[in-house]
Structures are given as structure tokens and as C-alpha cells.
Amino acid sequence: MVDTRPFLPVSSHAGSDPTGPSENRRKPMKLQLSIFFVLLTVGFFAALLTSNNGSDNGFVKENEHGSLASPSSEKQLRPVSRGPAVGVSEKSNRLFAKDNENQLAYPWNNSMLSWQRTAFHFQPEKNWMNDPNGPLFYKGWYHFFYQYNPHAAVWGDIVWGHAVSKDLIHWLHLPLAMVADQWYDKNGVWTGSATILPDGKVVMLYTGSTTENVQVQNLAYPADHSDPLLINWVKYSGNPVLVPPPGILDKDFRDPTTAWLTSEGKWRITIGSKINKTGIALVYDTKDFINYELLDGILHAVPGTGMWECVDFFPVSKTEENGLDTSVNGPSVKHVVKASLDDDRHDYYSIGTYHEKNGTWIPDEPKIDVGIGLRYDYGIYYAAKTFYDQNKNRRVLWGWIGESDSEAAEMQKGWASVQSIPRTILFDKKTGTHLLQWPVEEIESLRLKSYEFNQVKVQAGSVVPLDVGPATQLDIIAEFEIDNEALEKTTGSNVTFSCSSSGGTVERGALGPFGLLVLADDSLSEQTPVYFYIAKGSDGKLKTFFCNDQSRSSVASDVNKQIYGNLVPVLEGEKLSLRVLVDHSIVESFAQGGRTVITSRVYPTKAIYGAAKLFLFNNATEASVSASLRIWQMNSAFIRPYPNDKESQ
């Protein structure tokens, strides 16, 4: 039966009120003034970011031969916009379609599309998935909730899917956790976060889109806290508990964080928003998760960054190798603020100092503030959320990996999107500016046969095949050493290098590119290079870039072929190192222990099944490299419905 005392002491204001929450207190007339002051003081440093939108829709269907093609061979692919009209970020797969650029449907067949489904990344059995929601560890089970469309492989009709796992790798699908059945979430049960209270009970705050498309915050809790699977959820009768405050637009108020305890014994959360083009994080205190007080100021604001979605806030230790509970604070702790930018659909983070008394946070390095500096991932990765795993004393990061093929192809295969392999996240004590992300250790349980290659010499301009059998499911760890004599002799240049705009692997430099060719066929007509490029400046200083080149990843015309990447710090005495997880249509790459990470979706037509191969390459003009690798074939994870008899797994 339903727990009648689900969380903290129940307020006397418990009735359902369609005009707003039972009580939302705030200090008089200070929100607009505080925001205005912030805008004045930082406005001079604004750097406007640009956003790009796609085009119209084109209908594509399967022909009599089982291939995906347009009704007319001249029909253009123009994906319809999904999401922004109702107040969330763009959810259509528009990355590959540039403005005024016509795209034709590639004739995908069912064999190609079936190969794209991943083997050990989490995804539902069918249909659309996006943001991770409310992850937590509870009574021996990891719980994962996610944005889900139960009706189609495109965004819409969003509810909460739910799955559980003992190890973050093998998953059991449970019934939907929450559906859109109330006036305050009728247009979507959107993103939210879980908080575990001191007595072990769970509360969930989530954004609902009302019948009038107003973004409000709602409270839910398990119907039975003794159920380790948390199958049934109850929505608080007094929802919504928060509505947009004065000065905040109806569609600019979403995605509450996990709550943390203050020294006064109050719970504190932050919610993403914006004022004009300034991204902000509002701060609320509560004692019972029903009544809230809006703090005078804001957690942080960065002009020019636009709407902040899926804000995350958490501590990291400067001294320990473990993760920290969200409420931990103190002199040995730094705090991370992360925001998903609606304007460009990337996740940015920054490390800084949290001031509990006034609920503000200040970045250590303003030049790499939230939205203008470091990203979790330089590929396709969005709406990320962390949780503290008290089972193993670690902070675990989840992220949504969207598609970058055509929407028509997704409708043909019947599903869209995957989740990243969960990553541990730690403060990088060596740089002091970066986080380190690394696949959770449990992924190693899927390793099968291994192959070792020691000190493989790769001459300038050469490609070396690595005989590891089929290369569609791999875990690769590699180190590279570049010829020191070439490093010293190479003349510096004033030319500025960029992964995205410097031509990819076909543009040869003295010291790069070099690395791996994954998901490549024997003829190299399809290949996805994961590589380093070392640029030597006119001052003789070296800068190392970590990149992923999709320009020749597929012969298909209707997929994204961007080149991803960014600078990666390489400190004195460090070898160049990378780890790559290859899982059919997803490639997750980690450089220098996870300082820089790139995730790609890749859709080859030839380099699939047994034809997928792995190569070393060195396209530098002056330097040879030596590579040492250990490579594992990877087993598939068990991701299936929970058994009807509900026996423990």
C-alpha cells in the first residue's frame, strides 16, 4: 500500500491547487534586482553564442526491396523540428542537415539498420529515448529512469521509462514509472532528479509541462519504500510545488537537480533558466520538498549562453580518489556546475568555489566558465546527469547519445538514441582545471579474448592492420610515443589548428595525425579515425589535440560527417594514451585518462559485421610513432524485460 508519510513532515497545505504550489515563499522583490545586478556586472564580458536550426520534413518509406528510400528519388530529407515549440531543446536529428543543403535518403536495407543496434550500451527495446532521469542506487539495485516516447521512434508523448541493474551493465526493463496523466504534466513528464533522505526514503522532483505548456516542478515518491524495484510511483496531491517565479518565462524553468543539505539543515536545489540570452541557475531552499524559498541571488549566470537545461551541481574531492555525496562541503572540496546549453546542444562544465551562505558559485577560471569553456564530451552527448553511488563511493555520470542519421531511417529501424556507458567522474588533480571521466569498472566484465601489440612501429604515411577479428565490439587501450628527434627538429608554425576545421586526417602535418582507424573496411572506403595531432607553435611550444574524423565514416549521404575534438592537456612525462569503446554504431573515446572525451555515432554501410576492421595509422609527414595496445573483444550485455515471476537476478 501507499506510504502515507513518504518524505519529510507533511505541510498543512496539501490540497491540489491548479493555480500554483501550496506555498512558494521568496524574499520580497529581490529576484529581478539580483539578476539585474548580475547582468550589469558581467554584461561587459558577454560572448554571444550562435545557434542553428534545421529545415522542414520529408516523408520516407520502405520500398518493395526492403530498403529505405523516398517516394521519389528526388525527394529531399528535411527533418521536422521537434521540441522547441513546447519549450525544450531541439530533439530532431538535424546535425547532418545544414541550412540550404539538400539531403537525399540513402537506400538503407534492414541488414544495415539491424547492425546499428548496440550490444552493451543501454537502450529500450524500441522507440525514442532522450535525457537520463533520477539515477540512484537503492536497496541493492541501480535505478535508471529516462525520457521515453512509448509510441514512436521520434520525440513526443514523453513519459518516464525505468530499468534496474545490479552492475550498471546488465539491465532489466520495468513498467513505465510515470506517465503524463495530470494537468500539471499532461504535455510531458520531463527531466528530474532523485534525492535520498537520511532515513533512506526517496523523493523525486521533475519538470512537468502543463496543459497550457507552462513548465512547473512536481514532487513524486515511491508508493512502497520497501520495494527494492520502486515499481509504483505516487505524484504528490498538491503538485506543482514550484511555478516560474516573476521575471522568468513560462517555458524557461526546468530540470531540478538532486537536493543537498545546507549547514542549517535545509535542502537546496537549483533549476535552469535564462534572462534574455543570459543562462542562469536559480536556487531554492526547502525543509519538506513541498514549500520552497527562492534565494535572493542565483547560483551562477553566464551572459550569451542562452537557456540552461539539465543543470547539475556536485562536489569533487581535491585529495581523495572517491566520489562525494552531493551534500559534502569543506576546504578539500571543489564544486562543479554543469549546464546543457539549449542553443548548441552541448554539455559544459566548470570547476569552482561554492559559497553556501548566499547560495552562489564562482568559477576558478572565468575564461573557461560554464558554456564558454570545457565540455564533458566533444561529440554527441547531452543532458548529462550525475548521481552519488553510495554502494561504491563514486560519482557516476550518465549522458544521452542522440542519433545523427536521418529521422526516416530511425522510423524504419524502430528506435532512436542510446545512453553512454556510465562514467566515473573525478577532479583532475594534475591540471586542476579538468574532470576525469572513465567507463565504470563493471564494463570490464564483458571483456572476452584479448590481443596485445607491443611497440608497433608506424612509419610516417603508413597504415598497419591489427588482426583482432571482427571489430564491431571492442575495448581498446593504447599508448603512443612519437619520435623525439622529429619533435625537436620540426619547425614551429603560426597556423592555428582546430579538429573541426583543419581538414581531418587527410590534412597532414609534421607531427600528426596518428592513431586508430575504427569501423573500417579492408579498402578503407569507410573508416572512423580516432587520433592525436600535435601542433608546434612558432614559440616552439607543443599543443596536443584529440580528434575524431567522421568525414569518411560512411558512404551514406544522409548521416552526420562532422569532425569532433579539442585540445587535450598532456603533462610532462606523460605518454599519449587513449581508450576507445566500439559498440556497433557508437564510439566512445577517452584521451589522457579521460581529460578529453569524444562520443560519435557512426553509420557505415560496408564496415559492418565481419567486415569491420581495426587499423593503426600515421599520417604525419616527419615523425614515426610507436604504439602499444591491448584490445578485447566485448561480449553483449543482457538488457531485457524483468521476468514475470520477478525472481532476483
**Helix (H, G, I), strand (E, B), or coil: what is residue 65?**
coil
Could you check whether the bond before residue 529 is cis, i.e. omega within 30 degrees of 0?
A: no
Closest CA to 438 of 567, 590, 329: 590
Cβ-contact 219, 235 below 8 angstroms: yes
CB neighbour list of residue 343: distance below 8 Å, 6 or more residues apart:
49, 50, 51, 305, 306, 307
In sequence order, which residues have a C-beta less than 8 Å from that of residue 268 and are 6 or more positions away? 259, 260, 261, 262, 283, 284, 285, 286, 359
Please report, as a single letter, which amino acid is at residue 247.
Answer: G
Cβ atoms within 10 Å, residue 533: 26
Element (DSSP H or E) covering residue 409: helix 407-413
Residue 85: which residues within 8 A CB-CB, separation 6 or more?
none
CA 277 to chain centre: 23
CA-CA-CA-CA torsion sign (315, 317, 323, 324): negative
How many residues in the chain? 649
User: Of 131, 377, 405, 558, which one is the catalytic site residue?
Assistant: 131
- Rounded to whole angstroms, how far apart are CA atoms 582 and 620? 25
Rounded to whole angstroms, how far apart are CA atoms 457 and 453? 10
The label of the residue with cell 569543506 reads 330
Residue 539 known to be catalytic: no
Whole-angstrom Cα distance, residue 147 to residue 128?
Answer: 8
Measured CA to CA, the distance from residue 10 to residue 535 in angstroms comes to: 61
Distance CA 310, CA 202 (A): 20
Per-residue cell: 513: 595525425
Beta strands across the sheet bearing 514-520: 462-466, 613-618, 514-520, 528-536, 542-549, 563-567
| Residues with active-site annotation | 131
